Structure 1
Amino acid sequence: MFDRLEDLLIRFEEIMSELNEPSVVNDQNRFRTLMKEQNDLAPIVEAYKEYKNCKQNIEDSLAMLEEESDEEMRELAKEELNESKDRMAQLEHQLKILLLPKDPNDEKNVIVEIRAGAGGDEAALFAAEIYRMYVRFAERNRWKTEMISVNENGIGGFKEVIFMITGQGAYSKLKYESGVHRVQRVPETESGGRIHTSTITVAIMPEAEEVDVELDMNDCKFDVFRASGNGGQCVNTTDSAVRLTHIPTGIVISCQDEKSQLKNKDKALKVLRSRLYELELAKKHDAEAEARRSQVGTGDRSEKIRTYNFPQGRVTDHRIKLTLHKLDSVLDGDLYEVIDSLIAADQAAKLSNLQEAS
């Protein structure tokens, strides 16, 4: 590990030197590439430099204890020695995490699909609440959200909603949200006061660029139709809505949120690319047993990952056995404790797998 850290430190210093060269500053593509590499390496290099300082402090403290006869100075040396040892252990763990293989999709934007499952109108109402939860979480992170497609049920619920979240690190935070989300509560339409259980599915897909997916337009069939629902005269009186069918996979995507047929077509293609990319990622994960075991849960949409229990005011994530009694706060977008716990569990699993492999 330390040989690799030394190599990264040398590389970081090389990059810093290159960034000061006029030829690099004038080459914007090269400059951006080096800046990204520098930003990626900076947290590792900073932690490693601090680790080396701690190591030096320990050596200095031990030397002082051997040479110093003054009891007060010896006590100070012992105190610094213990502090440096504790900090060094923390930094070693931190460096192991920083050196874990990065998910190449972590910095990507995401496309989120939420669909009502079992529970009829109650599931659709819950889907709308979960949509608002993610929008609020995006706002807390200063990310942007953009509606792609929505199918409402007429009473404020969503049978299906597809939207994009744009922001640095969106996928790294939200990738653990894919799966079945379950709600337990008394519906407003329930006169007997009985608790009902409803479900929705959430799919989090990294936004796929054209370079990520080879898409043959001959495999795509476009149908246009008149949009329905709210949207104003322009939307409802022109054939602006688009239905995209991907013939090889049978994937069908409908977009009618925009007034422009061209914009709806672009959005449909964006969703299709991300779905195809997700299929490729799933194949890759299935082929790599180690990679699959290192994930928090399987990410399968059929897996029940979380329960929102209204009578008890609690949220339980079943993958890591985490229960929080702050349902209102979570539904208002305060997902930090849940997501940080999932990330920590994922990192711990990956570290364990690396140790077993070595």
Structure 2
Amino acid sequence: MLDKLEAIKERFEEVGQLIIQPDAMSDMSKYTKLSKEYKDLEKVVEAYNAYKNVMENIQSTKSILEKEKDPDFREMAKIEMDELKEKQETMEEDLRTMLIPKDPNDSKDCILEIRGGTGGDEAAIFAGDLFRMYERFCEKQNLKLTVLDLTFGSSGGYKEIISSVSGTDAYGMLKYESGVHRVQRVPATETQGRVHTSAATVAVLPEMEEVDVQIDMNEVRKDTYCSSGPGGQSVNTTYSAVRLTHEPTGLVVTCQDQKSQIKNFEKALKVLRSRIYEIELAKHNETVGAQRRSMVGSGDRSDKIRTYNYPQSRVTDHRINRTVYNLPEVMEGNIEEFIQALRFAENAEKMQAGGIED
């Protein structure tokens, strides 16, 4: 662990020099990346320096205990040694956590996409329930959720609803929600009282900036049309809604939440960048191999990750075999327990893979 910390300190000093070079200051993309790296490394270096200070104090106190004959001084030194040892253990645990490889996208805003899956009308209704769950979660976490585009289900809920979520560590908190969410309950449309199983898919994508994903705008077709749904006087009267088609991949993105066509275009472009990034990341992970695929953080939208059983008031996360019997609270946005457990499991995986030891 100490070798890794020394290497981080050396890199921190190196980045400190690189960031003030003329070529870095004239290249905004390079300067932004170096600034972020410097800020991230600074936290680790400060913690490491504090840890080294404690270790020096331990050595000094040990020397006093070896040489000092006065019983009062020795007693004071023993008390101080106990306090320092306790600090040492806490700091070492914190440093190990800091050394866990971090997802560079955790601090980004994100795109949250929810779609009704198998189950027809009931799947769309469940997609609506999931959206309200995330809406309440975002409120509790001081995250701003903005709907970009939606398609209503014929009996309620949404066939599809796409939102942007902004705020501190938005992607880092919501990324574990990607996958298939399954619901078991008696649908409102069921006349025989039978429990049905339906599903909705959730995709959480980090919101990518222009410096992260380059798009050739010659390969993007832009169409405008009248927005639909609630929205005031501009609905069905102005061509403010935007549809972007990325011809090389066939990806289609629409946005109609703003009255301004320019703002809708900018938001649609962010969604398009995020989806292109997802495709490229999937290709990269497949090339690297299965050893980099985390049980917890794969983000594969085809994985069945959670079941919501209404008759038993039970919610089960299949990735970590965790079950709670407080479904109404979960549907009110209280999903922090799952997120913390998933984060802990992922960190444990990374520590094991990275061999972070003393």
Instruction: Check conservation: 1:285, 1:291, Cα contact below 8 A.
Output: no
CA positional deviation for 1:116: 0.5
CA distance in 1: counterparts of 2:298 and 2:31, whole angstroms: 38
* Map of 1:24 onto structure 2: none
Tell me the C-alpha RMSD between the 2 structures: 3.4
Letter in 2 for 1:303: D
Task: Name 1:345's counterpart in structure 2.
Answer: 345
Distance 2:32 2:219 in 1: 35
User: Deviations for 1:161-187, whole angstroms, at most 9, x for unmatched residues?
Assistant: 001011121112211211111112222
1:312 and 1:273 map into 2 onto residues whose CA distance is 41
| 2:191 match | 191
Look up the match of 1:47.
Answer: 47
Residues 36/241 of structure 1: CA separation in 2 closer, same or farther (3 Å cut): closer
Tell which deviates more after alignment, 242-251 or 199-208: 242-251
Q: TM-score, normalised by structure 1?
A: 0.84
For residues 215-234 of structure 1, what are the structure 2 equivalents within 5 Å? 215-234=215-234
Amino acid at match of 1:339: I
What SS does the corresponding residue of 1:115 show, helix, strand or coil?
Answer: strand
Per the alignment, residue 91 of structure 1 pairs with 91
* Structure 1 stretches lacking a partner, 5+ long: 22-26
CA distance in 1, matches of 2:346, 2:300: 16
CA distance in 2 between counterparts of 1:36 and 1:158 reads 38
Q: Deviations over 1:136-158 (max 9, x none)?
A: 22222222221110111244301
CA distance in 1, matches of 2:261, 2:90: 55
Secondary structure of 1:202's match?
A: strand
Contact 1:294 1:353 in 2 (8 A): no
1:115-145 Cα deviation digits (max 9, x unpaired): 0001122211211121122222222222222
| Alignment partner, residue 304 of structure 2 | 304
Runs of 4+ in 1 over 6 A off after TM superposition: 10-19, 29-35, 69-76
Aligned to 2:23: none
Counterpart CA distance in 2 for 1:348 and 1:135 is: 29
**Following the alignment from structure 1 to structure 2, what is the Cα–Cα distance between the partners of residues 242 and 18?**
42
Cα deviation digits, residues 192-216 of structure 1 (max 9, x gap): 3322211111111111112222212
2:276 aligned with 1:276 = yes
- Alpha-carbon distance in structure 1 between the residues aligned to 2:265 and 2:35: 35
SS of residue matched to 2:235: helix
3-state SS of paired residue (2:112): strand
- 1:224-279, CA deviations, whole angstroms, 9 ceiling, x for partnerless residues? 33333333342113333333222211112233333333333332222111100111
Aligned pairs for 1:161-180 (under 5 A) are 161-180=161-180
Calculate percent identity across the aligned residue pairs: 52
Q: 2:261 maps to what in 1?
A: 261
Q: Secondary structure at the match of 1:230?
A: coil
Whole-angstrom distance in 2 between the partners of 1:335 and 1:278: 25
2:170 corresponds to which letter in structure 1?
A
Amino acid at match of 2:185: R
Structure 2 distance, partners of 1:70, 1:187, is 79
Distance 1:49 1:325, change over 3 A: farther
Check the 8 A contact 2:285/2:293 in 1, yes or no.
no
The whole-number CA distance in structure 1 between the counterparts of 2:152 and 2:72 is 74
Residue 133 of structure 1 corresponds to which residue in structure 2?
Answer: 133
SS in 1 for 2:355: helix
Counterpart CA distance in 2 for 1:173 and 1:121 is 29
- Quickly say closer, same or farther: Cα 1:118–1:75, change in 2 above 3 A: farther
Deviates more, 1:10-19 or 1:220-229: 10-19
2:217 matches 1:210: no
- In structure 2, the partner of 1:287 is 287
> Does structure 1 conserve the Cα–Cα contact (< 8 Å) formed by 2:99 and 2:356?
no
Q: Judging changes above 3 Å, is the alpha-carbon distance between structure 1 residues 220 and 15 closer, same or farther for their aligned structure 2 residues?
A: closer
Per the alignment, in what secondary structure is the counterpart of residue 236 of structure 1? coil
Cα distance in 2 for partners of 1:71, 1:32 equals 57
Aligned positions, number = 352
Give the Cα–Cα distance (whole angstroms) in 2 for the partners of residues 161 and 203 of structure 1: 11
Supply the distance in 2 between the matched residues of 1:159 and 1:126 (Cα, whole angstroms). 10
The answer to whether the 8 Å contact 1:110/1:205 transfers is yes
CA spacing shift, 1:256–1:177, aligned 2, 3 Å: same
**TM-score, L = length of structure 2:** 0.84
Match of 2:160 in 1: 160
